Structure 1
Amino acid sequence: MTEKTSWDQERKAMRDVHRDLTGGDLGSWNYRMYEPVSGTATLGSERSEKFTDYKEKWEKAQNYVEFNEDRMLSGCWNNLPEPSPLRTGGSEKFYMMWTRQTRNRRALAAIDATCGIIHSILLADHFNETRFEPKSDRFAIYRDHIKWIMSGAESHYIEKWSKDYLKCKNNAKNPDRTLLEIISVYDFLSANCIDGDPSQIPSPTNIKNYIRDKNQNEESVDSKSLTDAVWEEKMKMASKFIPLIC
Protein backbone atom coordinates (compact mmCIF):
# COMPACT_ATOMS: atom_id res chain seq x y z
CA MET A 1 0.00 0.00 0.00
CA THR A 2 1.49 3.33 -1.11
CA GLU A 3 1.78 5.82 1.72
CA LYS A 4 0.08 9.16 1.23
CA THR A 5 2.01 12.31 2.09
CA SER A 6 0.36 15.10 0.08
CA TRP A 7 -3.21 16.40 0.33
CA ASP A 8 -2.99 19.11 -2.33
CA GLN A 9 -5.38 17.31 -4.68
CA GLU A 10 -7.97 16.84 -1.94
CA ARG A 11 -7.60 20.47 -0.87
CA LYS A 12 -8.28 21.61 -4.43
CA ALA A 13 -11.30 19.31 -4.69
CA MET A 14 -12.75 20.78 -1.50
CA ARG A 15 -12.32 24.31 -2.80
CA ASP A 16 -13.97 23.33 -6.08
CA VAL A 17 -16.96 21.89 -4.21
CA HIS A 18 -17.21 25.03 -2.09
CA ARG A 19 -17.12 27.20 -5.21
CA ASP A 20 -19.82 25.13 -6.90
CA LEU A 21 -22.08 25.34 -3.85
CA THR A 22 -21.55 28.98 -2.89
CA GLY A 23 -20.13 30.70 -5.94
CA GLY A 24 -17.26 31.97 -3.82
CA ASP A 25 -13.73 30.87 -3.09
CA LEU A 26 -12.68 28.96 0.00
CA GLY A 27 -9.38 30.46 1.05
CA SER A 28 -6.34 28.39 1.85
CA TRP A 29 -6.90 29.24 5.49
CA ASN A 30 -9.84 29.76 7.77
CA TYR A 31 -7.85 32.46 9.54
CA ARG A 32 -7.42 36.17 9.01
CA MET A 33 -4.12 37.98 8.68
CA TYR A 34 -3.86 41.13 10.77
CA GLU A 35 -1.77 44.11 9.77
CA PRO A 36 0.80 44.71 12.51
CA VAL A 37 0.96 48.50 12.29
CA SER A 38 -1.55 51.30 11.95
CA GLY A 39 -1.59 52.93 8.54
CA THR A 40 -1.79 56.42 10.02
CA ALA A 41 1.02 55.94 12.51
CA THR A 42 3.77 54.84 10.14
CA LEU A 43 5.32 56.36 7.04
CA GLY A 44 4.58 54.60 3.76
CA SER A 45 7.96 52.93 3.11
CA GLU A 46 8.44 51.86 6.72
CA ARG A 47 4.88 50.58 6.91
CA SER A 48 5.34 48.61 3.70
CA GLU A 49 8.58 47.06 4.93
CA LYS A 50 7.07 46.05 8.26
CA PHE A 51 4.01 44.62 6.57
CA THR A 52 6.12 42.59 4.13
CA ASP A 53 8.16 41.17 7.00
CA TYR A 54 5.03 40.39 8.99
CA LYS A 55 3.35 38.78 5.98
CA GLU A 56 6.31 36.44 5.50
CA LYS A 57 6.20 35.39 9.15
CA TRP A 58 2.43 34.99 8.96
CA GLU A 59 2.62 32.74 5.91
CA LYS A 60 5.29 30.67 7.63
CA ALA A 61 2.98 30.25 10.64
CA GLN A 62 0.09 29.31 8.34
CA ASN A 63 2.24 26.79 6.50
CA TYR A 64 3.22 25.21 9.80
CA VAL A 65 -0.44 24.69 10.72
CA GLU A 66 -1.12 23.12 7.33
CA PHE A 67 2.03 20.98 7.48
CA ASN A 68 0.99 19.64 10.87
CA GLU A 69 -2.52 18.92 9.65
CA ASP A 70 -1.25 17.11 6.55
CA ARG A 71 1.08 15.05 8.73
CA MET A 72 -1.79 14.01 11.01
CA LEU A 73 -4.12 13.25 8.11
CA SER A 74 -1.42 11.14 6.45
CA GLY A 75 -0.61 9.29 9.66
CA CYS A 76 -4.23 8.37 10.18
CA TRP A 77 -4.99 7.53 6.53
CA ASN A 78 -1.88 5.39 6.09
CA ASN A 79 -2.77 3.34 9.17
CA LEU A 80 -6.33 2.60 8.06
CA PRO A 81 -6.77 -0.92 6.64
CA GLU A 82 -8.17 -1.02 3.12
CA PRO A 83 -11.59 -2.43 4.22
CA SER A 84 -12.24 0.41 6.69
CA PRO A 85 -15.30 2.50 5.70
CA LEU A 86 -13.16 5.57 6.33
CA ARG A 87 -10.84 4.45 3.55
CA THR A 88 -13.24 2.88 1.07
CA GLY A 89 -14.92 6.26 0.62
CA GLY A 90 -11.74 7.64 -0.91
CA SER A 91 -9.19 10.23 0.14
CA GLU A 92 -11.24 13.24 -1.00
CA LYS A 93 -14.16 12.31 1.23
CA PHE A 94 -11.78 11.54 4.10
CA TYR A 95 -10.15 14.95 3.74
CA MET A 96 -13.44 16.81 3.64
CA MET A 97 -14.59 15.01 6.78
CA TRP A 98 -11.49 15.53 8.92
CA THR A 99 -9.70 18.66 7.69
CA ARG A 100 -9.49 21.58 10.12
CA GLN A 101 -11.99 23.44 7.94
CA THR A 102 -14.70 21.12 9.23
CA ARG A 103 -13.62 20.11 12.72
CA ASN A 104 -13.00 21.64 16.14
CA ARG A 105 -9.30 22.29 16.68
CA ARG A 106 -9.86 22.94 20.39
CA ALA A 107 -11.42 19.49 20.76
CA LEU A 108 -8.38 17.98 19.08
CA ALA A 109 -5.98 19.88 21.34
CA ALA A 110 -7.86 18.59 24.40
CA ILE A 111 -7.07 14.96 23.61
CA ASP A 112 -3.79 15.29 21.70
CA ALA A 113 -1.86 18.39 22.70
CA THR A 114 1.31 17.22 20.95
CA CYS A 115 -0.46 15.95 17.81
CA GLY A 116 1.19 12.57 18.19
CA ILE A 117 -1.75 10.14 18.41
CA ILE A 118 -2.57 8.50 15.09
CA HIS A 119 -6.36 8.37 15.50
CA SER A 120 -6.89 11.57 17.49
CA ILE A 121 -8.40 13.49 14.55
CA LEU A 122 -11.11 10.82 14.41
CA LEU A 123 -11.67 10.69 18.16
CA ALA A 124 -11.74 14.43 18.92
CA ASP A 125 -15.51 14.73 18.45
CA HIS A 126 -16.09 11.51 20.37
CA PHE A 127 -14.55 12.98 23.52
CA ASN A 128 -15.67 16.57 22.98
CA GLU A 129 -18.36 17.94 25.30
CA THR A 130 -20.77 18.45 22.41
CA ARG A 131 -19.92 15.11 20.77
CA PHE A 132 -20.74 14.42 17.13
CA GLU A 133 -23.69 16.02 15.41
CA PRO A 134 -25.97 12.92 15.27
CA LYS A 135 -27.26 13.62 11.76
CA SER A 136 -23.91 14.59 10.27
CA ASP A 137 -22.15 12.64 7.54
CA ARG A 138 -19.05 12.60 9.70
CA PHE A 139 -20.84 10.80 12.52
CA ALA A 140 -22.32 8.32 10.04
CA ILE A 141 -18.93 7.34 8.63
CA TYR A 142 -17.37 7.25 12.12
CA ARG A 143 -20.19 4.96 13.29
CA ASP A 144 -19.63 2.69 10.28
CA HIS A 145 -15.93 2.54 11.13
CA ILE A 146 -16.72 1.49 14.72
CA LYS A 147 -19.16 -1.15 13.48
CA TRP A 148 -16.48 -2.47 11.14
CA ILE A 149 -14.01 -2.69 14.05
CA MET A 150 -16.56 -4.51 16.22
CA SER A 151 -17.39 -6.95 13.43
CA GLY A 152 -13.86 -8.31 13.44
CA ALA A 153 -11.26 -5.99 11.98
CA GLU A 154 -7.64 -7.02 11.71
CA SER A 155 -6.27 -7.74 15.17
CA HIS A 156 -3.20 -5.53 14.85
CA TYR A 157 -5.40 -2.59 13.84
CA ILE A 158 -7.79 -3.18 16.74
CA GLU A 159 -4.78 -3.04 19.04
CA LYS A 160 -3.64 0.30 17.56
CA TRP A 161 -7.15 1.75 17.74
CA SER A 162 -7.67 0.59 21.32
CA LYS A 163 -4.38 2.10 22.50
CA ASP A 164 -5.17 5.43 20.85
CA TYR A 165 -8.71 5.39 22.21
CA LEU A 166 -7.43 4.95 25.76
CA LYS A 167 -4.78 7.65 25.32
CA CYS A 168 -7.38 10.13 24.08
CA LYS A 169 -9.83 9.15 26.81
CA ASN A 170 -7.23 9.73 29.52
CA ASN A 171 -6.09 13.01 27.99
CA ALA A 172 -9.69 14.23 27.81
CA LYS A 173 -9.95 13.81 31.58
CA ASN A 174 -6.97 16.08 32.18
CA PRO A 175 -6.39 18.35 29.17
CA ASP A 176 -3.76 21.07 28.97
CA ARG A 177 -5.99 23.93 30.09
CA THR A 178 -3.44 26.61 29.29
CA LEU A 179 -3.22 25.36 25.71
CA LEU A 180 -7.00 25.33 25.39
CA GLU A 181 -7.19 28.83 26.84
CA ILE A 182 -4.67 30.08 24.27
CA ILE A 183 -6.73 28.65 21.41
CA SER A 184 -9.97 30.06 22.82
CA VAL A 185 -8.50 33.53 23.31
CA TYR A 186 -7.03 33.44 19.81
CA ASP A 187 -10.50 32.75 18.44
CA PHE A 188 -12.03 35.49 20.60
CA LEU A 189 -9.48 38.12 19.60
CA SER A 190 -9.78 37.09 15.96
CA ALA A 191 -13.54 37.57 16.05
CA ASN A 192 -13.37 40.90 17.88
CA CYS A 193 -10.19 42.48 16.55
CA ILE A 194 -10.46 46.21 15.86
CA ASP A 195 -8.64 47.20 12.68
CA GLY A 196 -5.68 49.47 13.29
CA ASP A 197 -5.34 48.55 16.97
CA PRO A 198 -2.12 46.52 17.46
CA SER A 199 -3.20 45.50 20.96
CA GLN A 200 -6.12 43.60 19.45
CA ILE A 201 -4.05 41.38 17.14
CA PRO A 202 -4.10 37.75 18.37
CA SER A 203 -0.34 37.57 18.85
CA PRO A 204 1.37 35.48 21.56
CA THR A 205 2.01 38.59 23.66
CA ASN A 206 -1.55 39.87 23.41
CA ILE A 207 -2.98 36.42 24.09
CA LYS A 208 -0.80 36.03 27.18
CA ASN A 209 -1.75 39.49 28.46
CA TYR A 210 -5.43 38.83 27.83
CA ILE A 211 -5.34 35.55 29.73
CA ARG A 212 -3.49 37.11 32.65
CA ASP A 213 -5.94 40.01 32.86
CA LYS A 214 -8.98 37.80 32.41
CA ASN A 215 -7.95 35.26 35.01
CA GLN A 216 -6.81 37.57 37.78
CA ASN A 217 -9.95 36.74 39.72
CA GLU A 218 -10.65 33.34 38.19
CA GLU A 219 -9.30 29.84 38.68
CA SER A 220 -9.46 28.56 35.10
CA VAL A 221 -5.75 29.05 34.46
CA ASP A 222 -3.21 30.03 37.10
CA SER A 223 -1.39 32.27 34.65
CA LYS A 224 0.66 34.11 37.27
CA SER A 225 2.50 30.90 38.14
CA LEU A 226 3.64 30.36 34.56
CA THR A 227 7.18 31.44 33.74
CA ASP A 228 8.11 33.06 30.44
CA ALA A 229 9.72 29.78 29.38
CA VAL A 230 6.48 27.88 30.03
CA TRP A 231 4.47 30.48 28.13
CA GLU A 232 6.84 30.12 25.19
CA GLU A 233 6.46 26.35 25.26
CA LYS A 234 2.65 26.59 25.36
CA MET A 235 2.61 29.04 22.45
CA LYS A 236 4.76 26.69 20.39
CA MET A 237 2.34 23.87 21.15
CA ALA A 238 -0.59 26.08 20.15
CA SER A 239 1.13 27.04 16.89
CA LYS A 240 0.31 23.55 15.59
CA PHE A 241 -3.38 24.44 15.80
CA ILE A 242 -3.45 28.20 15.16
CA PRO A 243 -1.10 30.47 13.18
CA LEU A 244 1.05 32.12 15.84
CA ILE A 245 4.24 33.99 15.12
CA CYS A 246 6.42 32.64 17.93
Structure 2
Amino acid sequence: MIEKTIWDQERKAMQDIHRELTGGDLDAWNYRMYEPVSATGTLSPEGSEKFTNYKDKWEKAHHYVESNEDRMLSRCWNNLPESSPLRIAGTDQFYLMWTRQTRNRQALVSIDAACEIIHSIILADHFNETGFEPKSERFGVYKEHVAWLMRGAEPHYVENWSRDYVKCKNNARNSDQILLEIISVYDVLSANCIDDDWTQIPNATSIRDYICDQNNERSDDPQLLSDVFWEEKMRAASMFIPLIY
Protein backbone atom coordinates (compact mmCIF):
# COMPACT_ATOMS: atom_id res chain seq x y z
CA MET A 1 0.00 0.00 0.00
CA ILE A 2 1.49 3.34 -1.10
CA GLU A 3 1.65 5.85 1.73
CA LYS A 4 0.08 9.24 1.14
CA THR A 5 1.89 12.37 2.30
CA ILE A 6 0.58 15.22 0.12
CA TRP A 7 -2.98 16.59 0.04
CA ASP A 8 -2.64 19.43 -2.47
CA GLN A 9 -4.88 17.73 -5.02
CA GLU A 10 -7.67 17.13 -2.50
CA ARG A 11 -7.32 20.67 -1.16
CA LYS A 12 -7.68 22.09 -4.67
CA ALA A 13 -10.67 19.84 -5.38
CA MET A 14 -12.48 21.19 -2.33
CA GLN A 15 -11.61 24.76 -3.29
CA ASP A 16 -12.99 24.15 -6.79
CA ILE A 17 -16.24 22.75 -5.37
CA HIS A 18 -16.60 25.72 -3.05
CA ARG A 19 -15.92 28.17 -5.89
CA GLU A 20 -18.46 26.43 -8.12
CA LEU A 21 -21.15 26.53 -5.44
CA THR A 22 -20.54 30.03 -4.10
CA GLY A 23 -18.62 31.88 -6.77
CA GLY A 24 -15.98 32.76 -4.18
CA ASP A 25 -12.74 31.40 -2.81
CA LEU A 26 -12.27 29.43 0.38
CA ASP A 27 -10.86 32.42 2.25
CA ALA A 28 -13.63 32.38 4.84
CA TRP A 29 -13.00 28.70 5.56
CA ASN A 30 -9.32 28.88 6.25
CA TYR A 31 -6.79 31.32 7.57
CA ARG A 32 -6.32 33.13 4.26
CA MET A 33 -9.10 35.39 5.51
CA TYR A 34 -6.53 36.73 7.99
CA GLU A 35 -3.72 37.06 5.47
CA PRO A 36 -1.94 40.41 5.87
CA VAL A 37 -2.72 42.76 2.99
CA SER A 38 -1.82 46.34 2.23
CA ALA A 39 -3.19 48.79 -0.27
CA THR A 40 -0.65 49.57 -3.00
CA GLY A 41 1.25 52.80 -2.54
CA THR A 42 0.01 53.53 0.98
CA LEU A 43 3.19 52.55 2.82
CA SER A 44 6.47 54.38 3.18
CA PRO A 45 9.62 52.49 2.11
CA GLU A 46 10.27 51.64 5.77
CA GLY A 47 6.65 50.58 6.29
CA SER A 48 6.72 48.52 3.11
CA GLU A 49 9.82 46.68 4.29
CA LYS A 50 8.22 45.93 7.66
CA PHE A 51 5.07 44.70 5.94
CA THR A 52 7.02 42.42 3.61
CA ASN A 53 8.96 40.99 6.54
CA TYR A 54 5.78 40.42 8.52
CA LYS A 55 4.00 38.77 5.61
CA ASP A 56 6.93 36.40 5.09
CA LYS A 57 6.64 35.34 8.73
CA TRP A 58 2.88 34.95 8.40
CA GLU A 59 3.26 32.77 5.30
CA LYS A 60 5.64 30.49 7.20
CA ALA A 61 3.18 30.30 10.09
CA HIS A 62 0.32 29.45 7.71
CA HIS A 63 2.43 26.79 6.01
CA TYR A 64 3.23 25.26 9.40
CA VAL A 65 -0.50 24.90 10.19
CA GLU A 66 -1.19 23.39 6.78
CA SER A 67 1.74 20.97 6.90
CA ASN A 68 0.76 19.83 10.39
CA GLU A 69 -2.76 19.09 9.19
CA ASP A 70 -1.40 17.20 6.17
CA ARG A 71 0.73 15.12 8.51
CA MET A 72 -2.27 14.23 10.69
CA LEU A 73 -4.43 13.40 7.68
CA SER A 74 -1.67 11.21 6.26
CA ARG A 75 -1.08 9.29 9.48
CA CYS A 76 -4.77 8.51 9.80
CA TRP A 77 -5.29 7.66 6.12
CA ASN A 78 -2.20 5.45 5.92
CA ASN A 79 -3.36 3.46 8.94
CA LEU A 80 -6.79 2.67 7.49
CA PRO A 81 -7.24 -0.90 6.21
CA GLU A 82 -8.21 -1.24 2.55
CA SER A 83 -11.64 -2.51 3.62
CA SER A 84 -12.41 0.59 5.71
CA PRO A 85 -15.40 2.60 4.42
CA LEU A 86 -13.31 5.74 4.89
CA ARG A 87 -10.63 4.46 2.52
CA ILE A 88 -13.10 3.02 0.02
CA ALA A 89 -14.75 6.46 -0.27
CA GLY A 90 -11.44 7.88 -1.52
CA THR A 91 -9.07 10.67 -0.57
CA ASP A 92 -11.27 13.55 -1.79
CA GLN A 93 -14.09 12.48 0.52
CA PHE A 94 -11.68 11.82 3.38
CA TYR A 95 -10.16 15.29 3.08
CA LEU A 96 -13.56 16.95 2.82
CA MET A 97 -14.78 15.24 5.99
CA TRP A 98 -11.78 15.71 8.26
CA THR A 99 -9.90 18.84 7.19
CA ARG A 100 -9.81 21.72 9.66
CA GLN A 101 -11.51 23.87 7.03
CA THR A 102 -14.87 22.17 7.57
CA ARG A 103 -14.83 21.61 11.31
CA ASN A 104 -14.42 23.09 14.78
CA ARG A 105 -10.69 22.81 15.40
CA GLN A 106 -11.14 23.39 19.15
CA ALA A 107 -12.72 19.96 19.35
CA LEU A 108 -9.45 18.52 18.05
CA VAL A 109 -7.31 20.65 20.38
CA SER A 110 -9.24 19.42 23.41
CA ILE A 111 -8.39 15.75 22.76
CA ASP A 112 -5.03 15.94 20.98
CA ALA A 113 -3.17 19.16 21.71
CA ALA A 114 0.12 17.56 20.68
CA CYS A 115 -1.29 16.22 17.38
CA GLU A 116 0.09 12.75 18.10
CA ILE A 117 -3.00 10.49 18.18
CA ILE A 118 -3.60 8.79 14.84
CA HIS A 119 -7.41 8.78 14.93
CA SER A 120 -7.98 12.05 16.78
CA ILE A 121 -9.15 13.86 13.63
CA ILE A 122 -11.99 11.34 13.35
CA LEU A 123 -12.78 11.16 17.07
CA ALA A 124 -12.72 14.90 17.80
CA ASP A 125 -16.44 15.50 17.24
CA HIS A 126 -17.34 12.40 19.24
CA PHE A 127 -15.81 13.89 22.38
CA ASN A 128 -16.78 17.49 21.71
CA GLU A 129 -19.33 18.97 24.14
CA THR A 130 -21.85 19.47 21.35
CA GLY A 131 -20.98 16.21 19.59
CA PHE A 132 -21.66 15.53 15.94
CA GLU A 133 -24.37 17.42 14.12
CA PRO A 134 -26.93 14.56 13.91
CA LYS A 135 -27.91 15.26 10.31
CA SER A 136 -24.42 16.03 9.06
CA GLU A 137 -22.70 13.98 6.39
CA ARG A 138 -19.68 13.68 8.68
CA PHE A 139 -21.79 11.95 11.33
CA GLY A 140 -23.09 9.52 8.73
CA VAL A 141 -19.56 8.70 7.63
CA TYR A 142 -18.46 8.26 11.25
CA LYS A 143 -21.37 5.90 12.03
CA GLU A 144 -20.55 3.82 8.97
CA HIS A 145 -16.95 3.52 10.11
CA VAL A 146 -17.97 2.44 13.62
CA ALA A 147 -20.46 -0.08 12.21
CA TRP A 148 -17.67 -1.53 10.08
CA LEU A 149 -15.53 -1.86 13.21
CA MET A 150 -18.32 -3.65 15.06
CA ARG A 151 -18.84 -6.10 12.21
CA GLY A 152 -15.32 -7.40 12.71
CA ALA A 153 -12.55 -5.26 11.27
CA GLU A 154 -8.96 -6.44 11.26
CA PRO A 155 -7.95 -7.17 14.89
CA HIS A 156 -4.80 -5.05 14.84
CA TYR A 157 -6.76 -2.06 13.55
CA VAL A 158 -9.49 -2.49 16.17
CA GLU A 159 -6.74 -2.53 18.79
CA ASN A 160 -5.22 0.70 17.43
CA TRP A 161 -8.61 2.40 17.23
CA SER A 162 -9.53 1.34 20.77
CA ARG A 163 -6.23 2.61 22.14
CA ASP A 164 -6.71 5.99 20.47
CA TYR A 165 -10.32 6.14 21.63
CA VAL A 166 -9.24 5.77 25.26
CA LYS A 167 -6.48 8.38 24.86
CA CYS A 168 -8.92 10.90 23.38
CA LYS A 169 -11.50 10.18 26.05
CA ASN A 170 -8.96 10.77 28.82
CA ASN A 171 -7.63 13.95 27.20
CA ALA A 172 -11.15 15.34 26.79
CA ARG A 173 -11.58 15.14 30.56
CA ASN A 174 -8.46 17.20 31.13
CA SER A 175 -8.09 19.45 28.10
CA ASP A 176 -5.65 22.36 28.06
CA GLN A 177 -7.88 25.34 28.86
CA ILE A 178 -5.22 27.97 28.21
CA LEU A 179 -4.49 26.50 24.78
CA LEU A 180 -8.20 26.48 23.96
CA GLU A 181 -8.44 30.08 25.14
CA ILE A 182 -5.51 31.13 22.94
CA ILE A 183 -7.25 29.78 19.86
CA SER A 184 -10.58 31.30 20.86
CA VAL A 185 -8.99 34.71 21.44
CA TYR A 186 -7.20 34.49 18.10
CA ASP A 187 -10.59 34.15 16.41
CA VAL A 188 -12.08 37.03 18.41
CA LEU A 189 -9.23 39.41 17.66
CA SER A 190 -9.08 38.37 14.01
CA ALA A 191 -12.79 39.03 13.58
CA ASN A 192 -12.28 42.55 14.93
CA CYS A 193 -9.43 43.42 12.56
CA ILE A 194 -9.91 46.56 10.51
CA ASP A 195 -9.71 45.85 6.78
CA ASP A 196 -6.24 46.28 5.29
CA ASP A 197 -4.63 46.96 8.68
CA TRP A 198 -2.14 44.11 8.95
CA THR A 199 -0.81 45.46 12.26
CA GLN A 200 -4.03 44.31 13.94
CA ILE A 201 -3.64 40.65 13.01
CA PRO A 202 -3.32 38.86 16.38
CA ASN A 203 0.07 37.66 17.48
CA ALA A 204 1.43 35.95 20.57
CA THR A 205 1.81 39.22 22.47
CA SER A 206 -1.67 40.59 21.76
CA ILE A 207 -3.28 37.25 22.60
CA ARG A 208 -1.36 36.95 25.86
CA ASP A 209 -2.27 40.51 26.86
CA TYR A 210 -5.94 39.90 26.08
CA ILE A 211 -6.09 36.72 28.15
CA CYS A 212 -4.29 38.29 31.09
CA ASP A 213 -6.61 41.31 30.98
CA GLN A 214 -9.60 38.97 31.08
CA ASN A 215 -8.17 37.11 34.08
CA ASN A 216 -7.53 39.94 36.52
CA GLU A 217 -8.44 37.70 39.43
CA ARG A 218 -5.46 35.52 38.47
CA SER A 219 -3.03 38.38 37.92
CA ASP A 220 -0.64 36.94 40.51
CA ASP A 221 -0.77 33.42 39.06
CA PRO A 222 2.90 32.39 38.53
CA GLN A 223 1.96 30.61 35.30
CA LEU A 224 0.42 33.70 33.73
CA LEU A 225 3.54 35.67 34.65
CA SER A 226 5.96 33.15 33.14
CA ASP A 227 7.42 33.86 29.70
CA VAL A 228 8.47 30.22 29.41
CA PHE A 229 4.90 29.08 30.07
CA TRP A 230 3.49 31.35 27.36
CA GLU A 231 6.15 30.42 24.83
CA GLU A 232 5.27 26.75 25.33
CA LYS A 233 1.55 27.42 24.89
CA MET A 234 2.02 29.60 21.82
CA ARG A 235 4.24 26.99 20.22
CA ALA A 236 1.51 24.39 20.76
CA ALA A 237 -1.16 26.75 19.40
CA SER A 238 0.89 27.43 16.27
CA MET A 239 0.05 23.93 15.04
CA PHE A 240 -3.59 25.02 14.77
CA ILE A 241 -3.46 28.75 13.96
CA PRO A 242 -0.94 30.80 11.93
CA LEU A 243 0.68 32.42 14.92
CA ILE A 244 3.79 34.57 14.93
CA TYR A 245 5.59 34.42 18.27
What TM-score does the superposition give when structure 1 sets the normalisation length?
0.92
In structure 1, C-alpha distance between the alignment counterparts of 2:201 and 2:80, rounded to whole Å: 40
2:240 aligned with 1:241: yes
Q: Are residues 232 and 218 of structure 1, via their aligned partners in 2, closer, same or farther at CA, if it must alter by over 3 Å?
A: closer
Displacement of 1:225: 4.0
For 2:171, the equivalent position in structure 1 comes to 171
Structure 1 unaligned residues grouped into runs of 5+: none
2:201 aligned with 1:201: yes
Deviations 1:195-222 (A, max 9, x none): 5484x43110000000000011379xx5
Asked if the contact 1:111–1:169 (Cα under 8 Å) also holds between the matched residues in 2, the reply is yes
What is the SS of the residue equivalent to 1:54?
helix
Q: Given residue 14 of structure 2, which amino acid in structure 1 is its aligned partner?
A: M
Matches within 5 A, 1:113-192: 113-192=113-192
Asked if the contact 2:212–2:224 (Cα under 8 Å) also holds between the matched residues in 1, the reply is no
2:104 aligned with 1:104: yes
What is the SS of the residue equivalent to 1:4?
coil
Q: Given residue 71 of structure 2, which amino acid in structure 1 is its aligned partner?
A: R
In structure 1, C-alpha distance between the alignment counterparts of 2:47 and 2:192, rounded to whole Å: 23
In structure 1, C-alpha distance between the alignment counterparts of 2:163 and 2:233, rounded to whole Å: 26
Asked if the contact 2:36–2:198 (Cα under 8 Å) also holds between the matched residues in 1, the reply is no
Q: Are residues 234 and 141 of structure 1, via their aligned partners in 2, closer, same or farther at CA, if it must alter by over 3 Å?
A: same
Displacement of 1:168: 0.2
Q: Given residue 217 of structure 1, which amino acid in structure 2 is its aligned partner?
A: E
Structure 2 unaligned residues grouped into runs of 5+: none
Deviations 1:28-62 (A, max 9, x none): 971212469xx98xx61011100100010000000
In structure 1, C-alpha distance between the alignment counterparts of 2:19 and 2:229, rounded to whole Å: 42
Number of corresponding residues: 239
What TM-score does the superposition give when structure 2 sets the normalisation length?
0.92
Displacement of 1:23: 1.5
Asked if the contact 1:29–1:62 (Cα under 8 Å) also holds between the matched residues in 2, the reply is no
CA RMSD of aligned residues (A): 2.0
Deviations 1:112-149 (A, max 9, x none): 00000000000100000110011111000000000000
For 2:35, the equivalent position in structure 1 comes to 33
Q: Given residue 11 of structure 2, which amino acid in structure 1 is its aligned partner?
A: R
2:9 aligned with 1:9: yes
Asked if the contact 1:179–1:238 (Cα under 8 Å) also holds between the matched residues in 2, the reply is yes
